[in-house]
Amino acid sequence: MILCPSCLCYHHPTMKKISYPALLLLMMVVTQANAASLDDPFSVSALMAPSPADAGICDNRIEGKLLTLADVIQISLCNNPQTRVAWASARTAAAVLGASHASQLPTLSLNGSADHTAAATGAVHSIANRQSGSQSLSYLLYDFGGREAGIDNARALLTAANASGNATLQTLFLDAAQAYLSLISARAAVEASRSSEASARESLAAAVARYQAGSATPADRLQAKTALAQATLTRVTAEGTMYNALGTLANAMGVAPTLALDFAELPQARPDIKTEENVAELIRGAQQQRPDLLAAEAGIDAAEAGIASVRASGMPQLTIDAAVADSRNSTAGGTTANTRSGNIALNISFPIFTGFKTTYQTLAAEARLENSIASRDLLARQIELQVWQAYHNLRSKGEALRTAADLLASAGESEAMSLGRYQEGVGNIIDLLTAQSAMASARQQHVSALYSWHAARFALAQAIGALDLDALQQIRHMEQ
């Protein structure tokens, strides 16, 4: 292989001419391709956070399966369009980062033309043909950090997109968990109302028996019948609430509510979320792992890189340019002329005056940085409040659950005692119906307290940024 400096070409006995700029570019591309696929030469896709589909958790078998909490969350994350939107945004940011890396490589252009000219002047006719081709290469050698700032900006925006995708995932995680808890709570409320209805029916039977035995008045029977009707109405209302919750959950899962869906009860095992820590430690943990706060931090990095990029745009740029051209001219008389030329140039450009454009662009970039910092600080304060409220809400829900359990136990004993006394003829219908009403209320309060406590646990987990794919895997492991 022989190098011809005058024409910037390589010659090889078995190959056509390859220009030096083209060969240089080819060598750089091949070197890069050895480390990554040509579909992603800069391997920017490896910097993306894995989506639910990428993590391999998407199994949308629904019908005929007893769906657990983990199944509901997994199906919701995989089916919800918001997930696809978030990861499409991340893929866009990754592609922008790849495009910014392109500034680290030279650019190569190929140009060609062919002309045919025919002319006649009286009896004189002339024909001329001309073919020409050229190759040019340009490479930015130095621009005072502008190229690097552009890459840093794109990398920070990808980090922000990853964090925003994680924030979307955690929001959908919480929505799915709350929809599941609402359905299980509504289903438990139906069971509680049916138990209360059965108790009211038993009271009516006792009142009828005493009336027939002559030891009770018609008022007892009517009051017991009224209580049964009220219990039946409560059960019907609870069933309507349950079906509404079923529709909401199906919508969150991205399926039709008409599907035959069967849901398992809430498992006794729960996500490994530390709820007895000092609230200050939870707040510090949230500030380190909340994805929306991480996205805000990445936004600050992007704004700082934007300032550097704008400032560099007002500085000199040093580039190297190379070109090679070949042309062939022929006439009808058989005359042919070949011309070959090439050049290398080192160029510097310095924007002396741009109408204060760079000045104001820098001011705008600095203002965007200030805005990003203020937005980050505002979000940090909001996160502190969210964690504080979620923590104390969970503690109060825990106390309410313990109180509701005690209330349910005492109401059950009171109802059993009142029913026994009434059946033995030593109690009155008012005491019995009052005890049964208290028992019905205690059942509903216990159901509400139980699932409100579960919902508060998930709300705290979301507030500290713990509802990610790892948490989903923990839930599934505990269900097995």
The model's pLDDT over 277-326, given as tens digits with 9 standing for 90+, comes to 678 888 999 999 999 999 999 999 999 999 999 999 999 999 999 999 98
CA max distance for the chain: 141
CA distance 279 to 351: 55
pLDDT confidence of residue 1: 32
Tell how far CA 13 is from the center of its chain: 57
CA distance 201 to 216: 17
- Listed in sequence order, the residues at least 6 apart from 235 whose beta carbon sits closer than 8 Å to its beta carbon are 190, 193, 194, 196, 197
- Listed in sequence order, the residues at least 6 apart from 471 whose beta carbon sits closer than 8 Å to its beta carbon are 173, 271, 273, 461
Specify whether the CB–CB gap between 299 and 160 falls below 8 A.
Answer: yes
Could you tell me the two tokens for 211? Answer: 């009336």
CA distance 358 to 355: 8
- Listed in sequence order, the residues at least 6 apart from 244 whose beta carbon sits closer than 8 Å to its beta carbon are 186
Separation in Å, CA 135 to CA 28, 107, 132: 17, 11, 11
Segments of the chain scoring below 70 in pLDDT? 1-37, 267-277, 332-333
Locate the domains of the chain by residue range.
144-314+355-480
pLDDT confidence of residue 272: 44
Specify whether the CB–CB gap between 246 and 67 falls below 8 A.
Answer: no
pLDDT confidence of residue 391: 92
CA distance 230 to 215: 25
3-class state of residue 428 by DSSP: coil
Give 404-407's long-range contacts (Cβ < 8 A, gap of 24+): 404/442, 404/445, 404/446, 404/448, 404/449, 404/450, 405/446, 405/449, 407/442, 407/445, 407/446
> What's the half-sphere exposure (Cβ side, CA atoms, 13 Å) at 450?
23
CA distance 193 to 201: 12
CA distance 429 to 421: 10
Could you tell me the two tokens for 466? Answer: 């713990």
Task: Report how far apart the first and last C-alpha atoms of the chain are (Å, whole number).
Answer: 67
Specify whether the CB–CB gap between 218 and 205 falls below 8 A.
Answer: no
CATH domain 144-314+355-480 topology: Outer membrane efflux proteins (OEP) (1.20.1600)
CA distance 270 to 453: 12
CA distance 382 to 391: 14
pLDDT confidence of residue 8: 38
CA distance 406 to 446: 9
The 10 Å Cβ neighbour count of residue 354 is 12
The order of strands in the sheet holding 9-12 is 2-4, 9-12, 15-19
Please calculate the CA angle 288-290-294 and round it to the nearest 5 degrees: 75
Q: Where are the beta strands (DSSP E) in 390-478?
A: none
pLDDT digits (tens, 9 = 90+) for 147-195: 999 999 999 999 999 999 999 999 999 999 999 999 999 999 999 999 9
Got the DSSP string for 115-183? EEEEEEETTEEEEEEEEEEEEEEEEEEE-TTHHHHHHHHHHHHHHHHHHHHHHHHHHHHHHHHHHHHHH
Backbone angles phi, psi at 315, to 5 degrees: -105, 165
Got the DSSP string for 187-247? HHHHHHHHHHHHHHHHHHHHHHHHHHHTSS-HHHHHHHHHHHHHHHHHHHHHHHHHHHHHH
List the helix and strand counts (H, then E) for the chain. 10, 9
Of the candidates 166, 159, 162, 183, the residue with the CA atom closest to the CA atom of residue 77: 166
